[in-house]
Amino acid sequence: MTAFSGLMTPACLIDRPRLIANAGKMAGIANARGVTLRPHVKTLKSLQAAKYYAPPGSPICVSTLAEASYFAGAGYNDILYAVCLTPNKYQQVSALLQQKVKLTVLVDSKSAVEALCHAAFDSGSPLSVALEVDTDGHRAGLCPDSDELTGLAKDITNANHLQFAGVVAHAGASYSCFTTSEHASMAEQETNRVMHAVKRLRDAGITCNMVSVGSTPTALYAPHQSGITELRAGVYITYDCVMAGLGICQTDDIAMSVLTTVMGVQQDKNQILIDAGWMALSRDKGTTGHKQDCGYGLVCSEQGALLEGWYVVATNQEHGIVRHIDGLNVDAAGFHFGQRLRILPIHACATAAQFSQYAVTDDNSEITEYWARINGW
């Protein structure tokens, strides 16, 4: 056990009781709906963290093949790589298949399917391939109404070395929804459109064993609709200021923070300098368009209590600048050199990526253990 005072700063803290509560809530939602939860491990990328929300044996979703390999090595054998596969990654895919992992890859274009059909994977069993379906015009995916959807599904089905898995949708547009009714409406749209694709495929004689939808906001508000086989969600495990700004969680649910030390109290500028710059917090400013712009993060006491109105207004590489939203005085607020504070991340996936390990606390005063994470591709 290490007291916070003995830690090098900046350090990335995980509040384990909150993480466990967040995991339980989402698992309960999936369970109540009778769908499988496929957690996206891209936020924490940590085996030790995953045991609380996706223990070995669980289906998982990954954002890189490096994650796939890391989790496969620990016994995970049902992995969805949820980024369109390009040919320069076929070798890594072969390596995973040789480990007897059930890897499902994603494609959304004729070119990508053609490349897969002409590829040779060094594996005894066929590669599972899903089609990405676009339900909100957000980024990628095939239109549920397109001829391409059924045509490509047939091409995959007809390739001996491929196995058609089904359809995957990601309602990324939900990150621009700010009310419960907007989230519910976006979730309904995601479900309806992906089910429309499933129906069209079924009419063409093609079965979707995987009908996967998700994003943390839509997973929380998804309607009870039959046909969906699994929910995907990732950032729910820690949440962050973006999710709080969308009304998806409270700041008290946020299970990640960056422990930092005050380097200077500048009365003349009415601001304090902390040793968490963008290298620790990341450059993510995802709440810029929100009702409350949290800058680079919200400030909490060492014990994790939110210091209302104090936020990181600017960052340099190793410096963060903290001010109050209404200009409260830094001296009156009692800030002092050497003081420890904690910063709630704007975007947990981005902040976590700046670290190679997490310091885990159960009581907001001591570190109980460290969890490793991987980065890279």
Per the listing, tokens 């005894």 go with 124
Q: What is the spatial distance between Cα 212 and Cα 30, in angstroms, rounded to a whole number?
A: 12
Element containing residue 272 per DSSP (H, E):
strand 271-274
Choosing from 179, 192, 329, 356, the residue that interacts with a second copy (CB under 8 A) is 356
Please choose, out of 17-25, 122-130, 280-288, 322-330, the segment that lies near a second copy by the rule CB under 8 A.
280-288
332 binds a second copy (CB under 8 A): no
139 binds a second copy (CB under 8 A): yes
Least separation, in Å, of the C-beta of 189 and a second copy?
19
Least separation, in Å, of the C-beta of 34 and a second copy?
29
Choosing from 28, 55, 57, 87, the residue that interacts with a second copy (CB under 8 A) is 87
Please choose, out of 21-29, 61-69, 216-224, 245-253, the segment that lies near a second copy by the rule CB under 8 A.
61-69
Name the residue among 233, 256, 262 with its Cα closest to residue 341. 262
Per the listing, tokens 């210091």 go with 307
Nearer to a second copy, 187 or 265 (CB): 265
Least separation, in Å, of the C-beta of 262 and a second copy?
8
Residues 6+ apart with CB under 8 A from 157: 164, 206
Q: Sort strands 162-169 and 210-214 into parallel, antiparallel or unpaired.
A: parallel
Least separation, in Å, of the C-beta of 118 and a second copy?
11
165 binds a second copy (CB under 8 A): no
Name beta bridge partners: 359: 13, 370
120 binds a second copy (CB under 8 A): no
Find out whether 243 and 251 touch, Cβ atoms under 8 Å. no
Find out whether 167 and 196 touch, Cβ atoms under 8 Å. no
Nearer to a second copy, 196 or 340 (CB): 340
Among residue numbers 209 through 268, which ones bind a second copy (CB under 8 A)?
261-266
Residues 6+ apart with CB under 8 A from 195: 211, 225, 227, 228
Choosing from 209, 316, 329, 365, the residue that interacts with a second copy (CB under 8 A) is 316
263: left (phi over 0), alpha (psi -120 to 50) or beta: alpha
Nearer to a second copy, 88 or 226 (CB): 88
Please choose, out of 69-77, 118-126, 243-251, 317-325, the segment that lies near a second copy by the rule CB under 8 A.
317-325
Least separation, in Å, of the C-beta of 338 and a second copy?
5
Nearer to a second copy, 51 or 340 (CB): 340
63 binds a second copy (CB under 8 A): yes
Find out whether 168 and 81 touch, Cβ atoms under 8 Å. no
Which tokens go with 20? Answer: 């466990």
* CA-based torsion, 49, 52, 55, 60: positive or negative: negative
Q: Which amino acid is at 349?
A: C
Please choose, out of 107-115, 192-200, 241-249, 300-308, the segment that lies near a second copy by the rule CB under 8 A.
107-115
Choosing from 2, 31, 99, 111, the residue that interacts with a second copy (CB under 8 A) is 111
Q: Which amino acid is at 42?
A: K
Q: What is the spatial distance between Cα 255 and Cα 271, in angstroms, rounded to a whole number?
A: 26
The count of residues interacting with a second copy (CB under 8 A) is 60
Q: What is the spatial distance between Cα 324 and Cα 349, in angstroms, rounded to a whole number?
A: 25
Find out whether 344 and 280 touch, Cβ atoms under 8 Å. no
Length of the chain: 377
Element containing residue 186 per DSSP (H, E):
helix 180-203
Please give the DSSP secondary-structure letter assigned to residue 142.
B
Which tokens go with 253? Answer: 């649910």
Nearer to a second copy, 35 or 133 (CB): 133
Choosing from 59, 172, 217, 297, the residue that interacts with a second copy (CB under 8 A) is 172
290 binds a second copy (CB under 8 A): no
320 binds a second copy (CB under 8 A): no
333 binds a second copy (CB under 8 A): no
8 binds a second copy (CB under 8 A): yes
Binding site for a second copy (CB under 8 A): 5-11, 42, 63-65, 83-84, 86-89, 92, 108-109, 111-112, 115, 139-140, 172, 261-266, 273, 275, 278-280, 282-285, 316-319, 321, 336-338, 340, 347, 349-350, 353-356, 375-377
